């Protein structure tokens, strides 16, 4: 009989075992997702210092508080350009794109303007302003000559977008057969400070 007991599996000899413990459910702590804000001007954010932005090109001092860094041979939206970074007290507060793509046919500058309006609208929404300004009506009724009208200063165009952080202006104008197309970006929070500094700059030497 004792020999038979040794042949009984231990689990049966000991009776029914207690149920296994319920495993604790551990909820993993989610890893915080770092959200990188979209750049305000090129690859930079408003408020960055010279060191944050990096060495893009020549720095020109405009006033004791304001300087501009010029980046040559850039491209934006398919156009050749010069990029200008404006720092007020070592904080990036404004940027400009000066389009340098040349055209012998002045009408093509108007097409470039319309192309940039489309691209800026896709990013910033409908412009609050997109206007024609005529200083001289000589070519007004001849759209084929509007490029010439821009080149001699008779016609200019301007468009304007505003977001909570950034104000954008697109301008097309000309004089003496030269056409200028550019985009200005500025930090909304520094709008008044920047305007005061620009006024001081324009008043120097008077």
Which residue carries 């007290």 as its tokens? 89
Q: What is the pLDDT confidence band of residue 4, given thresholds at 50, 70 and 90?
A: very low
What is the structure's pLDDT at 3? 44
pLDDT in tens, 17-60: 556 666 666 666 666 656 567 899 999 999 999 999 999 999 99
Helix (H) or strand (E) holding 92: strand 91-99
C-alpha 61, offset from chain centre? 24
Mean pLDDT lowest among 71-80, 102-111, 122-131, 196-205: 196-205
The residues pairing with 157 across neighbouring beta strands, listed in sequence order, are 132, 172
Query: pTM of the predicted model, to two decimals?
Result: 0.80
pLDDT at 141 over 70: yes
Helix (H) or strand (E) holding 80: strand 79-88
Domains of the chain listed by start with CATH number: 50-203 (3.40.1000)
């Amino acid at each position: 009989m004792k020999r038979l007991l040794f042949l009984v599996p231990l689990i049966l000899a000991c009776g029914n075992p207690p149920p296994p413990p319920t495993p604790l459910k551990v909820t993993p702590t989610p890893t915080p997702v770092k959200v990188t804000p979209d750049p305000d001007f090129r690859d930079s954010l408003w408020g960055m210092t010279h060191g944050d932005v990096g060495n893009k090109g020549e720095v020109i001092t405009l006033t004791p508080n304001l300087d501009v860094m010029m980046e040559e041979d850039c491209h934006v939206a398919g156009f050749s350009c010069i990029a200008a970074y404006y720092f007020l007290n070592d904080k990036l507060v404004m940027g400009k794109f000066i389009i340098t793509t040349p055209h012998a046919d002045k009408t093509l500058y108007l097409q470039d303007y319309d192309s940039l309006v489309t691209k800026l609208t896709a990013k910033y929404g409908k412009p609050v302003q997109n206007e024609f300004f005529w200083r001289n009506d000589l070519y007004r009724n001849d759209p084929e000559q509007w490029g010439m009208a821009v080149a001699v200063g008779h016609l200019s165009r301007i468009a304007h977008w505003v977001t909570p952080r950034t104000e954008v202006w697109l301008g097309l104008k000309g004089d003496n057969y030269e056409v200028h197309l550019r985009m200005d970006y500025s930090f909304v929070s520094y709008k008044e400070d920047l305007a005061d500094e620009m006024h001081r700059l324009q008043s120097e030497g008077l």
